[in-house]
């Protein structure tokens, strides 16, 4: 069959199986299989596909129908205008997280310092830390994750995006040394019981990167309580939060009595998405 015939059949198949955005996903998947740009599908629509390509396309479409995220099949996700490799060992970077990254980048650039130290906790694919290092090249970026497999993915992304990162295999701060101007994190924050109700594509992502405990706040409590020991004087923490977690996270910050100048930023959909807090006391 031709490219056009295979594409039409794939779109119909995805529609029948109630896969969201069937046209977009069918096209992106075909581009991945053929290793071409999307324009190629139009220009060469009458070109015959090889049997091997058709079989690979069918297998990839089946994965989509089973709920496997497109990004895990193509191993590609764009974030902060950079290209990231992703697989089942890491959370797929989302556009909402760019709000937090942009805030950190702006803050770092406004400091006018040569050696800003930034700690990225729960780095996963490395999207946050790598993006910060890419746009603030003079910072020293330390990225931490408890998963060895996740760190391997992150290292691959750092090489792909040509940045130097210090990697630490650690359960949050356990193996971290020194103090930092900035601590940033997009920790697991979904309530344990809620995970099983999520879209099946989200459930394909690593539970380790999703499970925030019974009330979704386990990691916020640990990070907020321990961060002052790792922040320099006037250092700041930047935390991504769930859309409905602002009040609870602010309560944790207030109870520690170690921060001031607390701010919250909304994402493009108008949901609360990031909280920033400044360390109150000196070292």
| Cβ atoms 19, 11 nearer than 8 A | no
Helix (H) or strand (E) holding 33: helix 22-34
Phi/psi at 187 (5° precision): -80, 170
Give strand ranges (E) for the chain. Answer: 77-79, 82-84, 117-121, 140-145, 166-169, 180-185, 231-240, 259-266, 272-279
pLDDT for the residue 283:
44
pLDDT for the residue 192:
84
Residue from 8, 60, 51 nearest 33 by CA: 60
In 3-state terms, what secondary structure has residue 11? helix
DSSP string, 214-256: TTS-HHHHHHHHHGGGGEEEEEEEEEE--TT-HHHHHHHHHHH
pLDDT for the residue 281:
61
CA angle 275, 251, 95 (to 5 degrees): 25
| Dist. CA 14–CA 7, nearest whole Å | 11
Spell out the per-residue pLDDT of the chain, length 283, in tens: 999 999 999 999 999 999 999 999 999 999 999 999 999 999 999 999 999 999 999 999 999 999 999 999 999 999 999 999 999 999 999 999 999 999 999 999 998 787 899 999 999 999 999 999 999 999 999 999 999 999 999 999 999 999 999 999 999 999 999 999 999 999 988 888 888 887 777 777 888 888 788 888 999 999 999 999 999 988 999 999 999 999 999 999 999 999 988 899 999 899 999 999 999 865 4
| Dist. CA 47–CA 224, nearest whole Å | 57
């Amino acid at each position: 069959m031709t490219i056009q015939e295979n594409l039409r059949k794939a779109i119909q198949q995805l529609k029948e199986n109630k896969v969201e955005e069937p046209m977009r996903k069918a096209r992106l998947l075909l581009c991945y299989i053929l290793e071409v740009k999307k324009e190629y599908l139009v220009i060469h629509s009458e070109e015959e596909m090889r049997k091997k390509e058709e079989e690979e396309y069918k297998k990839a479409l089946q994965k989509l129908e089973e709920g496997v995220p497109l990004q895990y099949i193509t191993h590609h996700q764009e974030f902060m205008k950079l290209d990231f490799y992703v697989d089942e060992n890491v959370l797929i970077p989302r556009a909402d997280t760019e709000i937090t990254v942009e805030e950190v980048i702006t803050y770092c650039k406004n400091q006018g310092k040569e050696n800003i130290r930034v700690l990225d906790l729960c780095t996963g694919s490395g999207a946050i830390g790598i993006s910060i290092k890419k746009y603030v090249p003079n910072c020293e970026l330390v990225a931490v994750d408890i998963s060895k497999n996740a760190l391997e993915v992150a290292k691959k992304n750092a090489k792909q995006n040509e940045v130097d990162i210090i990697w630490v295999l650690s359960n949050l701060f356990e193996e971290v040394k020194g103090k930092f101007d900035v601590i940033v994190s997009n920790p697991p924050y979904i309530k344990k019981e809620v995970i099983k109700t999520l879209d099946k594509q989200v459930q394909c992502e690593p539970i380790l990167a999703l499970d925030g405990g019974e009330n979704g706040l386990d990691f916020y409590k640990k990070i907020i309580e321990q961060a002052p020991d790792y922040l320099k004087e006037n250092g700041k923490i930047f935390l991504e939060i769930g859309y409905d977690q602002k009040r609870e996270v602010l309560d944790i910050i207030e109870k520690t009595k170690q921060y001031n100048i607390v701010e919250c930023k909304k994402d493009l959909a108008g949901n609360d998405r990031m909280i920033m807090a400044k360390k109150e006391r000196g070292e």
